[in-house]
Structure 1
Amino acid sequence: MFTVKADRSICQGYGNCAMDAPESFDLDDDGLVVALKAQFTEDEREVVAAAVHSCPVRALSLAE
């Protein structure tokens, strides 16, 4: 299992994460990233990591 840290203070609402992994990320009413789960499984790592790396302002990071 792993988690994703979201730094909402630098999120610009591009939505790349939500487009790449809609089952894992969304944007709230303010247009800022929200992780839809507290923890992710190893089976989800490839998709979630791609979504994390697609953020142009690096508002997301993987955490073990």
Structure 2
Amino acid sequence: MTAARWSVEVDKRVCVRTGLCAASAPEEFDLDEDGQGRARSGTLPASEEVLEVAESCPIEAIGITDADTGKRVFPPGP
């Protein structure tokens, strides 16, 4: 069985460039040329750290889905 992986995307339309994601998990997130957050890879290992970064984003600009099932992990849905 392979380790769980998440598809992680920062919504550029709502990111307000706090840099919190890159400061909190620099191995998983960085900033683009405009100062907006982005995941270093389209898929990241499922981890409490990645989830905490998404939860700490002040405007919930970070979306996480299970890379295998497509089920939304964060933000929680209906």
The TM-score with structure 2 as length reference comes to 0.73
Any conservation in 1 of the 2:30–2:40 contact (CA below 8 Å)? Answer: yes
- Identical counterparts, % of pairs: 35
Letter in 1 for 2:59: V
Over the residues paired in the alignment, what is the CA RMSD in angstroms? Answer: 1.0
Identify, as 1 or 2, the structure richer in strand. Answer: 2
Question: Is the 8 Å Cα contact of residues 26 and 36 (structure 1) preserved in structure 2?
Answer: yes
Partner residue in 1 for 2:29: 25
Task: Provide the TM-score with structure 1 as the length reference.
Answer: 0.86
User: Which structure's relative contact order is higher, taking Cα pairs within 8 Å and 6+ residues apart?
Assistant: 1
Unaligned runs of 5+ in 1: none
The count of residues paired between Structure 1 and Structure 2 equals 62
Q: Aligned partner of 1:52: which letter? A: A
* Structure label with greater radius of gyration: 2
Q: CA deviation at 1:63?
A: 0.6
The structure with the greater share of residues assigned to helix is 1
